Amino acid sequence: MAVVLVDAGGTNIGSVRYALQRLGVDAELTADAEAIRAADKVILPGVGAAGPGMARLRELGLVDVVRGLAQPVLGVCLGMQLLCAHSEEGDTACLGLIDAPVRRFQESATLRVPQMGWNRLAQARPHPLLSGLGEDDWAYFVHSYAVPVGPWTLATADYGGPFSAVAAQGNFHGMQFHPERSAAVGAKLLGNFLRL
């Protein structure tokens, strides 16, 4: 099975590659359009801001490449947000593959932004990506922006209200948390993606 990581400049690429290696998959890091199109599975990692993330995909000529993929695609953290329609972060038009907005958390006296740390996942609807997810499974998040709950939502977490922790539309999937930093739960969900 050929798995590629899109080299879009995310700082979590090394840790995602290592997490995949622990699952027996040596994923190629590439910005080559043909390698991405030919892969069995494509992962779009990302850490940072939506505007620079989209600018990097445009510079590499990969916007239409990613939009045209028919195999399973997984966006991780910022990668999930880039799969969505629009981000409030920098008023950024994103890839539009998951028909969802990305909104900033509302800071308050009791809610610090960004959310940094562990949060419980709650399954919203059954999906093979969530196979084996338990009612007390937790994942590790670092983010200031989130996707609201909608028809795209597979699993939620709560931070001042529910948001989409896992989303999907067609062959495009997203995990807002860092599966590579989420211990056994993250490994389980990455393994589920590899089996899609």
* 84 classed as catalytic: no
Per the annotation, the verdict on 143 as an active-site residue is no
Among 169, 195, 189, 192, smallest CA distance to 177 is for: 189
Per DSSP, the three-state class of 10 is coil
Looking at 89, 94, 173, 180, which residue is catalytic?
180
Alpha helix locations (H) across 42-182? 50-59, 63-67, 78-83
Residues found in the chain = 196
Instruction: Copy the structure tokens of residue 49.
Output: 């801001």
Which residue in 77, 84, 89, 173 is the catalytic one?
77
Query: Any catalytic annotation for residue 89?
Result: no
List the structure tokens of 137: 């499974």
How many other β-carbons are positioned within 10 Å of the β-carbon of residue 157? 21
Catalytically active residues, by annotation: 77, 178, 180
